């Protein structure tokens, strides 16, 4: 795919796993980024995490060669998004919190500035009800790590304007991503299919019929799944997966999407997957 240079500034809301991953990808493509998180204590470790992901992306030849990295600025105020060319929200998968953050930033950016929610399950039109200009809102679903997975699910809400959709797809193309546009609804395409499957895989382990290793081996060896469902769940973050499953269960009525007991137990213990050092596998992190 041909890359075009993005002549603008990106504001990323949320300095968690996906916010730092998106930031690293954008900076690596030469794009200036303002990373915003209302919890100012998260910004210093987030800057370190972005640097680590940039180093990993370079080692894996996942960034364009010969391009200077874009500058990174950080802030704990939504006002820092003023003047951004595009805003990407990447906070926790809770509709009320996403809606508030999007409303706050919509108040400080100019009309026509694309507001993009990075969500795995919440319908875009539901979030559009929280902003003053719903035509400016669209959805994306980056996979983790964003710098390594080139395909991105792009969600056109019922009120998303053509101008917004064009701006979002152009940005993604400039970032070396391949946008695939889909319609709105709980979980869109990938999460609607994948997250219930992950929940079922965890349930099989919960029932004692197979170990995580056995489940993943079968999916890799028999079905060609790259990592297996339990390693995938650990990469997503078990807390994020549980939040996404709750959204799907509440908005579709599908009880198979309700987070199973073992998943909730691990979240309650703080075993969240790769980001905490332990989930269904041990990554050399927490030992207590």
Token digits of residue 137: 């809102």
Handedness of CA 105, 106, 107, 112 (dihedral sign): positive
Which token pair is 238?
């078990």
In whole angstroms, what separates CA 54 from the centre of its chain?
A: 17
Phi-psi region of 40 (alpha: psi -120 to 50; beta: other; left: phi over 0): alpha
Q: Which residues are catalytic?
A: 141
């Amino acid at each position: 795919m041909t890359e075009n240079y993005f002549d603008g500034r990106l504001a990323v809301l949320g300095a968690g796993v996906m916010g730092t991953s998106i930031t690293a990808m954008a900076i690596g493509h030469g794009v200036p980024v303002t990373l915003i998180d209302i919890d100012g204590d998260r910004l210093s470790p987030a800057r370190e995490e972005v640097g680590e992901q940039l180093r990993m992306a370079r080692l894996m030849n996942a960034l364009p060669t010969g391009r200077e990295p874009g500058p990174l600025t950080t802030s704990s105020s939504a006002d820092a998004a003023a003047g951004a060319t595009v805003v990407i929200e990447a906070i926790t998968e809770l509709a009320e919190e996403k809606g508030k953050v999007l409303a706050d930033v919509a108040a400080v950016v100019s009309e026509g500035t694309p507001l993009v929610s990075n969500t795995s399950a919440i319908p875009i039109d539901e979030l559009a009800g929280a902003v003053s200009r719903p035509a400016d809102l669209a959805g994306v679903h980056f996979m983790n790590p964003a710098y390594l997975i080139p395909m991105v699910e792009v969600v056109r809400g019922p009120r998303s304007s053509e101008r917004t959709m064009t701006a979002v797809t152009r940005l993604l193309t400039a970032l070396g991503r391949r946008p695939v546009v889909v319609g709105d609804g709980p979980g869109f395409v990938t999460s609607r299919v994948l997250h219930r499957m992950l929940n079922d895989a965890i349930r099989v382990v919960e029932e004692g019929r197979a170990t995580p290793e056995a489940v993943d081996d079968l999916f890799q060896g028999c079905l060609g799944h790259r990592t297996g469902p339990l390693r995938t769940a650990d990469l997503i973050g078990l807390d994020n997966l549980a939040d996404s499953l709750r959204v799907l269960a509440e908005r579709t009525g599908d009880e198979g999407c309700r987070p199973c007991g073992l998943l909730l137990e691990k979240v309650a213990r703080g075993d969240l997957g790769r980001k905490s050092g332990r989930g269904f596998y041990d990554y050399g992190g927490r030992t207590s």
